[in-house]
Structure formats: C-alpha cells, structure tokens
Chains A and B, each alone.
Chain A
Amino acid sequence: MVVALTISLSLLGPYTNTTVAQEVVLKLGMPDQIDNFNPLIGLFAAAGYIRGMLYDTLLYISANGTYIPWLAESYSVDSEKLLLRFRIRPGAYWHDGRPITASDVEFTFNLVVASNYSDKLDKWGLRKYIEYVKAIDDRTVEFKLKEPYAPALFYIGALIPPLPKHIWSEVDPTTFKNMDNPVGSGPFKFLKYTPGVSIELVANENYYRGRPKNDRLVVVLYKSTDALMLDLQAGNIDAITATTVAPELVPVLLRDPNIRIVELTYTASLRFIGFNNDRYPFSIREFREAIAYAIDKEAIVRIVMLGYGYPAADGWVQPLFGTWYNPSVGYRRQNLTKAAEILDKLGFVDRDGDGIRETPNGTVLRFKILTISGLAEFERSAELVAGWLKRIGIDASIEAQALGTVDQREGVGDFDIGFMGIGMSITTDLDYYLYERFHSSQAYPLGTYAGRNWFRYRNPELDILLELQRSTLDPERRREIIWKIQEIVARDIPALTIYMKTALVAYRTERFTGWVESEGPTSKISILNLSPRKPEVVTIITQVPVVTTVPVTQVREVTQVVGGTTVIMTQTEVRVGTLTVSETPPQPRGISTETLTLLAVLLVVFIGAIAFLATKRR
C-alpha cells in the first residue's frame, strides 16, 4: 500500500526545478470547466476566458458594445456593406516569435468557411454569408459577403481569433485540443496546466500593446463555489471570473474592507417561462397574457434575488442592450383582477366550485411548471409563480428534473410551462438571441427536438422582421426593426420573461490597482491595466486606527440603481465604519514551521491518547 502510494505520488505531475524570484503573480479563481484551448471548437465559458487571454481577436468588443480595433489597427466596411477590410497592427507577433500576417487571418477564416473541416467548424453558419476571405498584402485582409449580414462584424471581428497558420495547417483543427503548448497572439503565453488545480500563464514580453505588468497569471480552478469564495476571502485569489457572487454572499464578502463587488453592466442572466404554444390552452394568446398578469416580477426579484436583479421587459431584449432596447416595451405588472377577467372572458371559469377553473369543454386547468432540479433560484421562483397561478384559479405544480430531462422534454414539447434561464451579453449580436428563439423555421412539430424555439411559436409577421434585421446593416434601420420585434414578442408573449439576474463579481484591492470596473474587473482591458501596489501603500493602511462598528450592508440602497449604470458597492458606500483594518499577512505558500509544529503536537497527543487507553487496562 505504501509503495503504491509513493508510486502514485511520483506520477502526479512534474515538479519544476526552477526557483522563482520575486514575481508579480495575479491569481484568479474560476470554475473547473476546461474543455480545450482550441478557439474553434471550445465551448466552455471558463476555458473561454483562458482562450481569450491566449488569442487576440481583430476587434475587441467593449462592455458598451462598441468595437475597438485590437489586433487590427483599423477596419473598414464599404458602402454596400459587402466588403470588410481589416489592417493588422504592425509589430504583432505570435508567441513563438513569428509575425502575425494577413495570411494567418485568411487561413483561419478559410478553415472555418472553405475547407474540408468547414462542416464541423462552421458552427455559426457563416458559409451562407461569406463569399471569400483574401489576404491583399501582408497586413490587409478582405472579407467579401454574399449579402449584407449584420452580425458579420461580430463573428469575424470579435468572436473567431486568427490562428497561426504555421501550426494549424499541420493539425486536424476538429480534434486539436491545443493544450500542450498553445501558440497565441494574446497578452499572456501558456506555461502550464495542472488538471483540477490551475492554469498558469506568463506575460508575453513582445505583446504589441505592451507587456502586462503582472509577470504571471495563475487561474485557479474550483469545483465548488464555497471553496472559491473562501479563498477569495482568505486572500488566496485576487478576483473571480466566469462565475458570479450569489446575492446572499454579498454582505458576507463586504465585511472584508479589501473586497469590492461590482455589477457587470454588459451581461446578466434572463429568467423566463416558456409556454408550449402547440398545446391548448397555451396556444391562446389571451390565456398566456392572463398568466403574465398573474406574476409579480418585482416580488421575485425582491424575495428570490434579494434585490440583485430587475424585472425583465416583456419584449425579450432587455435594457442591458442599450439603444437596441425599445423603451416603450415595459413589462406587465401584476394585476390579478385583470388576469381573472381575461380568463372569465375566455370561458375558463370554475364550474364545480373547487377553486380551480375549467376550460369550456370541462378540462381542469391543471399544469406543471417544468424546471431544473438542484437550482434553488429556479425552484423558488417557479414556486412563487405557481402560487400566483393558484390565486387566479389555475392549479400549477412544480416539476423539477435533471437538466438533461428538462432539456429533452422541452425540446420535444412534452411540457406545459418551462422555467428556464439564459445568459445575455451586449458583447454578442442580438441576432443570436432572437432568430433561433422565435423564427418559425426553428419550431419543429411536437415530438421533434427544437433547440431554442421550444415554445413552438410561429408568426409569419415576426419571421419577416427576423430575416430583415439580419440583412440590415444600417444601425438606425436595424434598431427600428428590432424595436418592432420586441413589440410583437411583448404582445404575443410566446414566452414570458420574468427577471434579469445581475452579474456580481468580486475582486480584492490590496495587491493590485487599476481594475477597470466598467469593462469587468477580469476583462482583458482591465487585466492589462493592472499594476501591483507599492508596499508603502500597504503600510499606510495598517496605521489606520481600528474602529469597531457594526458592518452595515445596505442591500436595498445598492440595488435601487439598476439598468445600464455600474453599481459599485464600495466599503464607503455601504459601511458605517471599519470593522478591522490589519495588514494581511503573507499567505503561507507551503508548509510553515508553525504548521509542522502544530501537526507534530496533534500527532503526539493523538498517539499518546491511544497509547494511554491501550496500556491502561481494566
């Protein structure tokens, strides 16, 4: 056994012989979801963060939705909106020292749209729109579209990063996991991946935007949020990424004067209920509207989200999306009398006096709300919804099942009402959220799996608009169409949006300065702007006298500012005074002598106790 243990120990990864001198190490914590570092096939958001650090895109889509020339120093779109040109920044090099050229860009996009692998790589259906990709000279690359396609700039500029031709032309890009030594273009180079523990990146010395000021970026992987948050509180990590802070944890984290919590303005999660539009009586628009009037969106935000969210607009597109959001589309406020009136008018009345209404042909209005088990937020919200439905005479109960089951049942249409959630981000083109969600071509007949339009909503009027917004490149014109789409969705409510869950992230302030909160503390722009704090600053802080007061975490005060503006919950805003201000001791980075002593003492005591018991017989 001992031998086996020693062997398995020795198998556990290589240890390096390099001793590292004083390095500036930035540590981020995120969920342990690493699929691969291949930007063409990787799916996971957490691994996507690493891929983003390794590979730069031509454009950087900032938190307010505008495109910043990034790897491209400039770009142009011709008047017919068919020709896109990108000019690559001079002095940009791959991590292995080779220059980044237009032919790399040409190669990458041809791989996606015009190669033997396109079948598997073109996940976005770009082949339908891109006629050709051509490198005009060393630094200029040209994209020709077959027809105007509004999301093109997003896919070409901000989603798919150029890849080094000299490496990718020799691999099968559909099975290349790119985890051994990925060669990218981003601010950090790959150093090491320790499965289940961390990913280590080092600063790219030749980065065209200047070398990052932190020498190493260690991304620590967690399987449980509890451990992640404890490590953040303990100061073992500087920030969290690809995950958010649960509302109930906010006051706990804010007890630490060095932790700041930021609400991300560019992303939030939508929670909604989808109706089975192919099933009576959900096929009746008025019936769906009655349900909409039964639900108190504000109450769910208050009770389930503790205020960290806001009621969602009925038109699917949320205020988050800035000018794309149609401000005249609000949401229906709870009105139980109105809901009851609608049901009465439809002839859905309670005939047998049991408190539950029946349809005109006598079927009892008894439904199930299908949701995912194990997600407290979903189950609590669904229960509130069921409670309100009971008050208007609809008997609804919750059915919480495993993700796979829920997904399958919704897909084939084996449900009445589904309570679900999706993430929304301004950095993604709206087409992504609208077309497949509501276009009737995506609503397959009952029994056939429908991925996103599982509501089975079909409206020819909306179909035309959905197609039109795709081909309209003039932002003003496209905005009008998208506004119209929202009005129709809000009128028909094939699915009812409930609330937006705001994305709260946290970071520690004592080791680094320069966090760019508006872009998100762990965004590329923010990370590049970070610099280590000077030690003197820390000394000054430690001399602040200790004032003991009750830490006040005023949740309400913080959450009243929502929708569009950054809400920053700083110490000064939410606390009356300081609880403790002390110098954070350097974290143990190995076993300290004290620990060893403590261990030894515990061991001796333990063995002693056993020995004592054993010898002291009778």
Chain B
Amino acid sequence: MLRYFLLSRLLRVFIVFFIIVLLNFLLPRAMPGDPASILANEYNLPADTVRILRSMWKLDRPLYEQFFAYLESLFTGQWGYSYKYYPRTVYELVMERLPWTLLLQGITSLTVSGLGIIMGILAGWRRGSKVDVSITVSAIVVYAIPYYWLALMLQYVFGYILKVFPVAHAVTPGLPHANFFEYALDTLWHLALPVTAVTLTAYASYTLVTRNSMVDVLEEDFIFVAKAKGLPERVVMKHAIRNALLPPLTMLAIRLGHIVGGAVITETVFSYPGVGYLIYESIIYKDYPVLNAAFFMLAITVIAANFAADLLYAVVDPRIRYVKRG
C-alpha cells in the first residue's frame, strides 16, 4: 500500500514540478519592463549600452529561443549569468548567500517552533488557568506587532542605545577572526537580533495551534481513561503531547519547505546576506536567470518538504496509514 501511495504521490509531484517550470519561465517575463532598460534608467546609461546589454543577454531573441535556452540551463545546472550583477554567475550569487540563509532560517525554525510548541503545550495543558491566559494573550499581542517595527526597535535599543548587539550584518565587517571558534561566536552574536525578532513575531501561530490541538486531545476518552487509571500526570502529558503535535509539525514542514527562499524583511532590516533579498532585487530588476534559478530551487524544496511531511506523519502518529481508497 505504501508503494501505491509513493507512486501516486511521485506522479503528482512531477506534474506540479513541470507546471512550476513553465510558470517559472512565463511569470517573470510577463511583468512589464525589460532588464536592460531598467538598469539604464537607474544608472543613466547611454542608449548604446542598452543595446549591447540586450544582445548580450539574448533579450532580442524570440521567446521560444529564450525558452529552450532556459530549459537547457535548468537541466544542465548551468544557470548562466545574472543580469543585474553581470558577469557574476547565478550559481555564485546564490551559493554565497545560501549558507547564511540556511543558518538563519534553520535557527529561527528551531526557535520559532520550539518556543511556540512549548508555550502551546503549557497553555493547553493548563487550559483556563492564569498560565494559559498569559501565554495566549502575550502571544497574540506579540504576533500583532508589525515585524519590521519590532526589528527596528530591537536594533535601536540593543544595537544603538545599549550597544550589546550589532545593528546589522552576519559577521563584524573587517574583523579578522583568529580561529573558527571566534568566528562562530561572532556569527552567533550577529544572529541574536534577527533571530529574536523572527522568533517573537512568528512563534505565536505555533503556540495557538499547539494549544488548541492539545485542548482537543485532552478531551479525548483515552486521556480520561489514563487519568482514571491513576497514571502519573507526566505520563498522561506525554501521551497527550504526542497526539497534539501533528498540526504544529505540519506547519514546521511547510516552513522548512520555504527555507531556501530566505527572509526578505529580516535580510533587509539587518543587512543580513541571504537569498530572500536577492530574489526581491531580482524581481525589481527583472533578473530572469536569478529568478528562474531561485524559484526552481524553491519549488524543489517545497515539494520535497511536503512529501517528507506526509511520510513523517506516519512516523509520528502510528495511527496514520496510507491506504488505497475505494
């Protein structure tokens, strides 16, 4: 049965994938404006330059030729040159940012889901108590704060007034690091504000979902029975948590799928190197090769993460079995 499930899922994944590949090509080009003239406008370039750029980037070729070139670039892994950052390659641009994105997004995924789930379990377990009220209310309040404002405040208070954390960047500019340990510490030090900002604004959704799921589970008969049997609270809690974790794990899987997409606002506010800002810039400047590569990458990870989440359910919750319908 599992084999049938895998096959049908894989088929679906492939269909989705091909639609994405097509949209990937069409959508950026459907936006008005062409990359060369946008750059010309921004940097006051003479008409000769624009003509040169257009022919260099083959923008003067017919669309179908561009499409075949695009397919070729995707499947050979030769992503070509970025338009905006010409003659730097797309691969180079993405790769110098991807590790930073994975680091930031990885850590925030951990902190957001970790904090959110723990808070949700506490609130759900002690439903109606002061603990529940304070956790829920504070979560909603923090959730309601606009992210960029919170980030700017953190920068201002901790970076400018108290000067305990750096305002921006991923490492101290111009500081030679004596060894790897120092380098890692410097990196973590720079991560403090971005991670705090993201965590504070994003954990609430996990908290609320986990709490509600927890409350539902606690209403169920097996918990009643467990309590009636006189099992210690710890054991009861363990059973409840295990059943309540499904929804937040789904959320986490979706989040992990987007991990390579970066975080535009965080990267902008904290001048953190990452893929998100690159994608944002590429949209503004119609940097087709970068957009194609980034969305391609994003599509693959999202599909893979969702696929993994489906499989993971079965592991977390033994009751879930994939069977053929009908």
Contacts and interface: CB of A to CB of B under 8 A. Distances in A.
A174 B187 contact: no
* Chain A interface category by residue count: 35 or more
B56 A120 contact: yes
Contact of A404 (B106, B125, B129, B286): B286
B163 A590 contact: no
A116 interface: no
Interface in A439-485: 442, 449, 451-452
Interface in A1-30: 1, 4-5, 8-13, 15-20, 25, 27
A223 B271 contact: yes
Given A15-B179, A195-B96, A226 B31 contact: no
A176 to B, nearest CB: 7
B230 interface: no
Main secondary structure of the interface of B (DSSP, over half): helix
Given A15-B179, A451-B37, A226 B50 contact: no
B87 A436 contact: no
B99 A15 contact: no
Q: Which residue, B41, B177, B185, has most C-beta atoms of chain A within 10 A?
A: B41
B4 interface: no
Given A195-B97, A403-B42, A595-B164, A36 B170 contact: no
A451 B87 contact: no
Contacts of A200: 173-174
Interface string B119-163: 000100110010100000000000000000000100110011001
Contacts of A236: 166-167
B47 A442 contact: yes
Interface string A85-121: 0000000000000000000000000000000000110
Interface stretch (A55-63, A292-300, A563-571, A610-618): A610-618
Contact of B273 (A125, A196, A598): A196
B37 to A, nearest CB: 5
Given A5-B107, A403-B33, A449-B37, A32 B271 contact: yes
Interface stretch (B65-73, B78-86, B203-211): B78-86
A8 B271 contact: no
A251 interface: no
Nearest to A17: B178
A179 B93 CA distance: 13
A591 B40 CA distance: 44
B122 A614 contact: yes
A197 B269 contact: no
B177 A224 contact: no
A234 B49 contact: no
B174 A198 contact: yes
B52 interface: yes
A614 B129 CA distance: 13
Given A174-B87, A403-B284, A594-B164, A16 B176 contact: yes
A194 interface: yes
A527 B9 CA distance: 62
Contacts of A451: 37, 40-41, 45, 47, 50
Contacts of A11: 99
Contact of A610 (B99, B118, B178): B118
Given A9-B184, A15-B183, A123-B48, A403 B41 contact: yes
A328 B241 CA distance: 82
Contacts of A595: 164-165, 189
B73 to A, nearest CB: 16
Given A12-B99, A12-B187, A221-B271, A411 B37 contact: yes
* Chain B interface category by residue count: 35 or more
B88 interface: yes
Nearest to B93: A195
B25 interface: no
Contacts of A222: 168, 271
B96 A197 contact: no
Contacts of A404: 31-34, 38, 284-286
Given A223-B268, A402-B284, A20 B176 contact: yes
B64 interface: no
B186 interface: yes
Nearest to B119: A610
B40 to A, nearest CB: 6
Contacts of B96: 195-196
Interface string A196-232: 1110100000000000000010101111101110110
A176 B184 CA distance: 33
A197 B160 contact: no
A227 B270 contact: yes
Nearest to A216: B174
B49 A8 contact: no
Nearest to A224: B268
B37 A231 contact: no
A617 B176 contact: no
B168 A9 contact: no
Interface of B: 31-34, 37-50, 52, 56, 81, 84-88, 96-97, 99-100, 102-103, 106-107, 110, 118, 122, 125-126, 129, 131, 152, 155-156, 159-160, 163-180, 182-187, 189, 192, 233, 267-274, 277, 284-286
Interface of A: 1, 4-5, 8-13, 15-20, 25, 27, 32, 34-36, 38, 41, 43-45, 119-120, 122-125, 174-177, 179, 194-198, 200, 216, 218, 220-224, 226-228, 230-231, 233-234, 236, 402-409, 411, 422-423, 432, 436, 442, 449, 451-452, 587-591, 594-595, 598-599, 610, 613-614, 617-618
Given A12-B103, A197-B173, A595-B164, 16 more contacts: A9-B187, A11-B99, A35-B86, A43-B39, A195-B96, A197-B170, A221-B173, A223-B271, A228-B168, A228-B271, A230-B167, A236-B167, A402-B31, A451-B41, A590-B172, A613-B131
27 contacts: A1-B110, A5-B103, A9-B184, A12-B99, A16-B176, A25-B174, A27-B173, A27-B174, A45-B43, A119-B52, A120-B52, A125-B48, A177-B87, A177-B88, A222-B168, A223-B272, A227-B155, A230-B168, A403-B33, A403-B38, A403-B41, A405-B32, A407-B41, A422-B44, A451-B40, A451-B41, A451-B47
Please name the 8 residue pairs, one residue from A and one from B, whose CB atoms are nearest each other, closest first: A196-B273, A404-B33, A218-B174, A198-B173, A15-B177, A123-B49, A227-B168, A408-B33
